[in-house]
Amino acid sequence: MAGPSIRIKQAGESSKSTNTSGDDSSHRLVTFLQSQSQNTLTRLYQKPSSCLSIFRLLRPLERQLVMNLLWLEMPVPAATMAAWVTREGKRPYHDALSNLARLHILPQSPVKHALNPTFKSSMRQAITGGGSSGSFGVLTENDDKHPPPDIESLDAYALERWETILYYMVSSGTGQFPTKPSQGVLYLLQRSGLMANVHGNTLQITSAGFQFLLHPPHEQLWELLLQYLQMAEERQMDLVEVLSFLLMLSATELGKDYSTENLSATQKAMLEDLRDYGLIKQRTATSRRFSPTRLATTLTSSSPPLPTSTGTGNGSQAQGFIVLETNYRLYAYTDNPLQIAVLNLFVTLKSRFPNLVVGQITRDSVKKALANGITAEQVISYLITHAHPQMRKNKPLLPVTVQDQIRLWELEKNRVKSQEGYLYTAFASQADYEYVLNYAKQLDVVLWENSSRRCFFGSVEGHANIRGFIERRSAAGNA
């Protein structure tokens, strides 16, 4: 049996065939799926929409392997498959087989390769459009009384819900009183480690929360949804139903109404949570129809989940709004409260106008960000991601002096590291010093030593053992 040669592009080669989802969030979701049991994944693969969405998350070579095997009725000998691969592609090929095996899409076998029958059947159905299972959602009939919402209103709704969550996080502990998200959202933020209780019932953003704010919206969304998935069991929700509903939403069409009648009890219970996150919109809590927003329809796509997430003004803001000069002066063309609050994490704001904020990146402002757990690379990445179109004409995009100085300020913070412990000194002889030092090294508790002065510094954890060892040695000497 002959097959096409699979050539793996080497580093440095240009290619437009990239991971559909295009960021680290897809890798985290795939890793989560790989941690599930075979029974769980086989149940998930009974839904054609789940198979198609997971297929979109795969790497290009993994997708190619699936498509090569999808329409074959008989297994392919492993030796035949291996013959399709060029010499330099052997390692990526075996990595792809391993990833597909952990997803139970392509069971690992040294003899032959064949797709999981359940996955193959559902994937074929997803491509050909056969069947009437309602796996991709059931569209409702349009009428004059309940017309479907327009895309602009859906985008505005999703943006408002999502920015309510982010603005509440960034404003916590600042004395401001922004709109409070639902209790379900607040509980999810706590369980994710993005916010924590301080001073009783007051929620405040954590170091992980500060880092979360600088992530792209797609990564932010999946970080919360993965925590939601991990909470499914304790909330007595069927994980497969939760997963299949999220994956179904990623395959729905923006601007359409879908019926709730064919949803399971678990999926109907999810509707309230998904409304709070901005993934779906319903006219009322008891409505029998829902409209997925762009946040939902792009879950497994590389398309931006919030087309206006970088600004509330004209189209130029959607491409970027930050201008940074070599003198560390920053101009942000925005009136969005969330964006201004995020900039305030690492910029000293000087002036504010109706559609412009002026600030300065200073040593103190960067040190404040570093103290909150934000890294220099995250600051630089945020500035690059949201750079104004005029800045994109520069090469490099950001002034090198500013990038280097931000990194130097981080190195300055990490230069000195404090650690509690005990200083051992005043040994009677060099032999005594080396004897105790060797014992401490065996315990792996020595943090610093100076042989010329006969002293060393040990950690708190090792103090009791070292002190006991010295006391026993002194007692034996006196005897």
Instruction: Specify the amino acid at residue 316.
Output: S
pLDDT 10s digit of each residue in the chain, 479 long? 444 444 433 333 333 333 444 456 778 899 999 999 999 999 999 999 999 999 999 999 999 999 999 999 999 999 999 998 998 999 999 999 999 999 999 998 889 999 999 999 999 999 998 666 678 888 888 766 777 789 999 999 999 999 999 999 988 766 676 788 999 999 999 999 999 887 667 788 888 888 888 888 889 999 999 999 999 988 899 999 999 999 999 999 999 999 999 899 999 999 999 999 999 999 888 899 999 999 999 999 888 887 644 433 334 345 689 999 999 999 999 998 889 989 998 999 999 999 999 999 999 999 998 888 888 998 999 999 899 999 988 889 999 999 999 999 999 887 767 788 999 998 888 988 999 999 999 988 999 999 889 999 999 888 989 998 988 888 876 65
Q: Which domains does the chain show, CATH number per domain?
A: 28-128 (no CATH), 151-298 (no CATH), 322-414 (no CATH), 421-477 (3.30.70.2610)
Buried/exposed 259-278: b ≥16 CB within 10 Å, e otherwise:
ebeebeebbeebbebbbbbb
Contacts of 262 (CB under 8 A, 6+ apart): 134, 138
Q: Which residue is listed with tokens 């209780």? A: 197
Contact 30, 99 (CB under 8 A): yes
Q: What is the pTM of this model?
A: 0.74
Distance (Å, whole) CA 212 – CA 75? 45
The answer to whether the CB of 6 falls within 8 A of the CB of 64 is yes
Q: Rounded to an integer, what distance in angstroms lies between the CA atom of residue 33 and that of residue 370?
A: 33
The reported pLDDT for the residue numbered 333 is 95
Separation of alpha carbons 106 and 38, rounded Å: 12
In this predicted structure, what is the pLDDT of residue 158?
Answer: 94
* pLDDT at residue number 309: 43
C-alpha pair distances (Å), 133 with each of 110, 247, 254: 36, 15, 21
Distance between CA 54 and CA 41 in Å, rounded? 11
How many CA atoms within 13 Å lie on the side-chain side of 57?
A: 28
Place of tokens 């559902």: 122
Q: What per-residue confidence (pLDDT) applies to 267?
A: 94
R_g over Cα of the chain: 28
Q: How many Cα atoms within 13 Å fall on the side-chain side of residue 88?
A: 5
